[in-house]
A = this chain, B = another copy of it.
Amino acid sequence: MNKVSGGVIAPRGFKATGVASGIKISGKKDMALILSDKPCAVGAVFTTNIFKAAPIIVSQEIIKANPTGIRGIVANSGNANCLTGEEGIRNARTMVEITEKYLNLPNNSILVASTGIIGKQLPMSIVEYGISKLVQRISVENSSSLAAEGIMTTDTKIKQTSYQYISGLESFRIGAIGKGSGMINPSMATMLCFVTTDAKISYELLNEALREAVEETFNRITVDGDMSTNDTVFVLANGNSSFEVKEKDEKYQIFLEHLKATLNDIALMIVEDGEGVTKVVKINVINAKKQEEAEKVARRVANSLLVKTMLFGENPNWGRIIAAIGSSGVSINPSKLQVKVNNVTIFEEGNFIGYEKNDILKDKMITIDINLNAGKFSYFVYSTDLSYDYVKINAEYT
Residues of B within 8 A of A203 (CB): none
A317 CB within 8 Å of chain B: yes
Residues of B within 8 A of A310 (CB): 394-395
- Can you sample 17 A-B contacts with CB below 8 Å? A51-B326, A51-B334, A82-B323, A85-B350, A117-B317, A118-B323, A182-B306, A188-B306, A188-B324, A226-B329, A228-B327, A229-B323, A306-B394, A315-B395, A317-B397, A386-B391, A388-B391
Q: How far is the CB of A175 from chain B (nearest CB, A)?
A: 30
- What is the size, in residues, of chain A's interface with B at 8 Å between Cβ atoms? 62
Say which residue of B182, B187, B306, B332 sits within 8 Å of A324 (CB atoms): B187
Knowing that A388-B392, A391-B391 touch, tell me 14 more A-B residue pairs with CB under 8 angstroms.
A50-B328, A80-B319, A83-B334, A83-B350, A117-B319, A118-B322, A119-B319, A185-B305, A187-B300, A189-B306, A227-B327, A228-B323, A309-B394, A313-B396
A351 CB within 8 Å of chain B: yes
B-facing residues in A278-325 (Cβ within 8 Å): 300, 304-306, 309-310, 312-313, 315, 317-320, 322-325
Residue of B nearest to A227 (CB): B327
Say which residue of B51, B189, B350, B386 sits within 8 Å of A322 (CB atoms): B51
Is the pair A332, B184 in contact by a Cβ cutoff of 8 Å?
no
A387 CB within 8 Å of chain B: yes
Residue of B nearest to A82 (CB): B319
Is the pair A320, B391 in contact by a Cβ cutoff of 8 Å?
no
Inter-chain CA distance A48–B329, complex, in Å, is 8
Inter-chain CA distance A107–B397, complex, in Å, is 60
Inter-chain CA distance A39–B359, complex, in Å, is 52
Q: How far is the CB of A45 from chain B (nearest CB, A)?
A: 16
Write the A364-395 contact mask toward B (1 if CB under 8 angstroms, else 0): 00000000000000000000001110111011
A252 CB within 8 Å of chain B: no
Residues of B within 8 A of A229 (CB): 323, 326
Q: How far is the CB of A274 from chain B (nearest CB, A)?
A: 11
Is the pair A391, B188 in contact by a Cβ cutoff of 8 Å?
no
Residue of B nearest to A313 (CB): B395
Is the pair B305, A394 in contact by a Cβ cutoff of 8 Å?
yes
A165 CB within 8 Å of chain B: no
Residue of B nearest to A226 (CB): B327
Inter-chain CA distance A315–B228, complex, in Å, is 19
Residue of B nearest to A190 (CB): B323
A49 CB within 8 Å of chain B: yes
Residue of B nearest to A83 (CB): B322
Residues of B within 8 A of A226 (CB): 327, 329
Q: How far is the CB of A89 from chain B (nearest CB, A)?
A: 11
Q: How far is the CB of A80 from chain B (nearest CB, A)?
A: 8
